Structure 1
Amino acid sequence: MTKDCSDSAVLSRRISSLALALTLPLLLNTALAQPQPDPLDTLKRINSNYNTLKDSCQEPDTGAARGLYYCSGVTLRMVNDGPFNPWDYSPYAIKIGATSYSWIRKDLSTRILIHPAGFILRTPTDAAALNLPVKEQGFTCIYAFDGGTGPERKWYGCGFFDSREPPRAAQGVMNNRNAALAYGTCAEAGVSTAEQWTQKYTGLMKGPIQYGQCSWNAEKPSDWKAMIRVHESRPNTTNKDPFAFSAQVNEFMLKNATATNDGSENMKYIDAFIYNVNSTQNFATRGDQAPPKPENGLNSARNFQKKLQARGYSVPILRLDFTKPAEQRFSYVAADQAIDLGAASGTQPPPLAAQYIASADWIKRYDPGTRKDEWSLSIVPTAAGRALPKEQIDAIYQQLFALKGADSNWRDNEKSVGSMRQQLSCVLVNYRNKTPWNLEPFRPALSDSETRAAGCNPVPR
């Protein structure tokens, strides 16, 4: 299981106009980037997904077979809280190129989670039905139990534990949208059934299951069925295999969307935050920088919820209770929420804000003033943004800050408070027809006249 906390620097990330128009949060007061489902409807869907034992899933338009996660069960990531976003990638996950999730359903006996709080990813089937962004690509493999994933397992955590690129001769042909990424070593090891898995990976003379086990292909329904049977075949375990028994989690690998710690691509797929009402335990994970300590899951979930709302998405916190009947596995309590979920009280969400930013990208370029390479935020405004009166500078600045203000390039390098806003105002007033607009966090915040005299590019004195 890969480490959960993350503080690596963000280097760069491309944001397309289409992604901005359809999926990224653009905050203006409390306006939302996408419609938010009623929290009680979300609760009903998630409980239904947990309890409905589907054995096949298909893409709605092509009919191509997909893994069971696509339309069934609950895909979750448990993560500890800290000075980072829960959806971002940890330093250890960056080394792997993928991040660990788990998949739970009524026919799995899982009752122990790696952390007390986390989030649920919306199933692609639900997202399509709700007209929300659909995550069609990214999941690679699933292990019946914690796979001890690390850089030793190539192909995004799915290879054999030998630091070598895994073979692909036995993968077969798939025609779904995720076929190029999905992979499993079980096929390469000649394992296609639960019985074959048990024969190969258990026994007193064999190595620990955590590192020895093969991975199941994320998009083969038969692999999912075998994974479930393997997981349920071990109601008990030994000291040699503390993570390989049915109360523990499986490990479901999702390829990172970037090579940095920036996991904001995942924000639009988050369905809910959750916390385990019966546990405050943080388990040790590979890549930990310090011993784990107990954590209040509700407090963490509330922090997660506020962080996501600040980026333009409001989703509920749900309780997860493995002691309740399966039909009540998840529950919604209004008092748990850290934000106002207007949909729960029947109010309508505010109208969408006008969009002023078409794209915003970090680039590194030579600056003649400092005579060295500096980080620059290269902005392409929309027509509405370019035409915005100078009196409405706050509107475009709020949207820009919502998009990029949490990035370390901005957060760590704006030494003069208000510098980025000052440059944006200067460009809007004096160079609105220029493309792109470039803002640099290292620049000092001066008066309007001084900034204008410097061509909107003042340098530290």
Structure 2
Amino acid sequence: MKYIYIVSAASAWLTLCGATLLPYATPDQRGVEVADQLRRNYNDLTTDCGAVSRPSFLCSGVILRGTVYSDNYRAWDPSPQSTAQGGTSFSYLRKDAKFKALASFHKNGYILYPEFLKPVSTMTNVSVLCAFPVDASSHTRLSAGCGDHTSTPQIEDYCQNLGVTTAGQWNTHYRNNESSHRRACGFNVAANPQGKGAEAFIATLRSMKYTEGENFSNAGPNNNELRIAAWSSGLAEQLPIQAFFYLTGGVEFAKKDQRAFYADGGRFVPVIKLAFPATPGQDATFTYSSADQASLGDVVCKRYIDSASWEKRFDPGLNAQAWTLSVIPTDCGRSIGAGQTEAFYSEMLRNYGNSAEWKERDGGGMRRQLVCLISTVRTKDVWNLEPFRPYTTHEKAVAAGCNNT
């Protein structure tokens, strides 16, 4: 099997069969790294991501959404209204895009990876459609929340369609409309006619200098607003969620979201304490603490395998080529107790047991190898299992390094 390692100042990444994955790390290691990433992204003032058509939200900043926990739905699933509209509201926090509170004064929520920095996801794209320097009451707008506000007699439109392309022009338009959030225009950053999404998004951020008094007032909402195309429900295993965050008073709800996401997607996503700046001169802070994490040991997984692929490799014991199932477990799969071993094996058998590679030379030892790997090398990035290996005792499998002969 061929591995491609990409090493940066941030971390080492592992690419396997076209999927970009984080090497195994303990929850605390992962949490510390995510907090560091958030700080780097917050302080990264890049104006584009390599081209005028690539806005800086693709590779910098912190994209976050405030949510309300409920046992009746998942916080990361679009609401029925968002699904009907075709878009969901987020905010963008960066050193040059500051505010002191979220709409509705939410105390917790989640953070998405910037598109070009997401380490683990099979979701092809998180599409930002438009950006407003202020909270634009987008839940009652047309065009996926980017266009006309349904409660005003005027017709609202994208800024570019109104001839508004700079921060100064946006401010003039905003003040001419009595600083009404419902009358504010949003910049088309998805498919603006000039293909200059980066310039449009920077105009959004620079426009916030004109609303700094609002951003740090005691009357909400204070945040800017991004509209992101709504995705389907039930995609916990695919969504590029970087962290669950909480503000003072919200940690217990963040922990509940963390447990629910772990159960649905099998991935550990850390809870991070977020503190918004109280004044324009201050900065947001991102803090990881092991004490803020939910207890996950009793969670029953829905997914034990993150990905797997068949490879034909030379085996010294056989002195011949043999099929290997290379498995990358979910975080939950790596940490299961004896009570979930059969469920793990059943998932593997269900997804791969009917393949010709499994049946070609079934030695009956796949379950024994799995148990051996769980017992001895949970932290190994990739688990390799060969169907030709025979069934044996657990003790003999461990002694053979899980390579039953």
Q: TM-score, normalised by structure 2?
A: 0.60
Matching of residue 86 in structure 1 with residue 50 in structure 2:
no
Matching of residue 119 in structure 1 with residue 110 in structure 2:
yes
Find the partner of 1:144 among 101, 126, 133: 133
Give yes or no for contact 1:98–1:255 (8 Å, CA) kept in 2.
yes
Helix, strand or coil at the partner of 1:236:
helix
Aligned residue in 2 for 1:5? none
Helix, strand or coil at the partner of 2:76:
coil
The number of residue pairs the alignment matches comes to 280
Give yes or no for contact 2:277–2:284 (8 Å, CA) kept in 1.
no
Aligned residue in 2 for 1:193? 166
Structure 1 unaligned regions, length at least 5:
1-20, 24-31, 168-183, 278-295, 342-349, 357-379, 396-461
Find the partner of 1:227 among 182, 195, 204: 204
| Residues in 2 aligned to 1:55 and 1:108: alpha-carbon distance in whole angstroms | 12
State how 1:6-155 maps to structure 2 within 5 Å.
38-58=30-50, 65-83=53-71, 84-114=73-103, 115-127=106-118, 130=119, 133=122, 136-154=125-143
- Quote the offset at 1:272 in angstroms: 0.7
Matching of residue 337 in structure 1 with residue 293 in structure 2:
yes
Aligned residue in 2 for 1:318? 272
Give yes or no for contact 1:70–1:124 (8 Å, CA) kept in 2.
yes
- Quote the offset at 1:218 in angstroms: 2.4
State how 1:39-438 maps to structure 2 within 5 Å.
39-58=31-50, 65-83=53-71, 84-114=73-103, 115-127=106-118, 130=119, 133=122, 136-154=125-143, 156-162=144-150, 185-203=158-176, 206=177, 209-219=180-190, 220-237=197-214, 243=220, 248-258=222-232, 262=233, 264=235, 267-277=238-248, 296-310=249-263, 311-323=265-277, 329-339=285-295, 382-384=351-353
Are residues 232 and 267 of structure 1, via their aligned partners in 2, closer, same or farther at CA, if it must alter by over 3 Å?
Answer: farther
Give yes or no for contact 1:33–1:313 (8 Å, CA) kept in 2.
no
Ranked by relative contact order (alpha carbons within 8 Å, sequence separation 6 or more), the top structure is 1
Helix, strand or coil at the partner of 1:146:
coil
Give yes or no for contact 1:34–1:132 (8 Å, CA) kept in 2.
no
- Quote the offset at 1:385 in angstroms: 5.3
Are residues 69 and 134 of structure 1, via their aligned partners in 2, closer, same or farther at CA, if it must alter by over 3 Å?
Answer: farther
Structure 2 letter corresponding to 1:86? A
| Residues in 2 aligned to 1:317 and 1:105: alpha-carbon distance in whole angstroms | 19
Q: CA RMSD in A?
A: 3.8
Are residues 385 and 35 of structure 1, via their aligned partners in 2, closer, same or farther at CA, if it must alter by over 3 Å?
Answer: farther
Helix, strand or coil at the partner of 2:138:
coil
Helix, strand or coil at the partner of 2:101:
coil
Give yes or no for contact 2:277–2:283 (8 Å, CA) kept in 1.
no
Render the CA deviation track for 1:356-403: whole Å, top value 9, x for unaligned. Answer: 9xxxxxxxxxxxxxxxxxxxxxxx9544157799xx9xx9xxxxxxxx
Are residues 189 and 242 of structure 1, via their aligned partners in 2, closer, same or farther at CA, if it must alter by over 3 Å?
Answer: farther
Give the strand-richer structure, 1 or 2.
2
Are residues 382 and 90 of structure 1, via their aligned partners in 2, closer, same or farther at CA, if it must alter by over 3 Å?
Answer: same
Are residues 197 and 126 of structure 1, via their aligned partners in 2, closer, same or farther at CA, if it must alter by over 3 Å?
Answer: same
Structure 2 letter corresponding to 1:306? R
| Residues in 2 aligned to 1:267 and 1:132: alpha-carbon distance in whole angstroms | 5
Give yes or no for contact 2:78–2:231 (8 Å, CA) kept in 1.
no
Render the CA deviation track for 1:93-141: whole Å, top value 9, x for unaligned. Answer: 12211111110001123111131001110112222xx465575342101
Give yes or no for contact 1:257–1:263 (8 Å, CA) kept in 2.
no
| Residues in 1 aligned to 2:23 and 2:256: alpha-carbon distance in whole angstroms | 21
Q: TM-score, normalised by structure 1?
A: 0.53
Percent identical pairs in the alignment equals 25
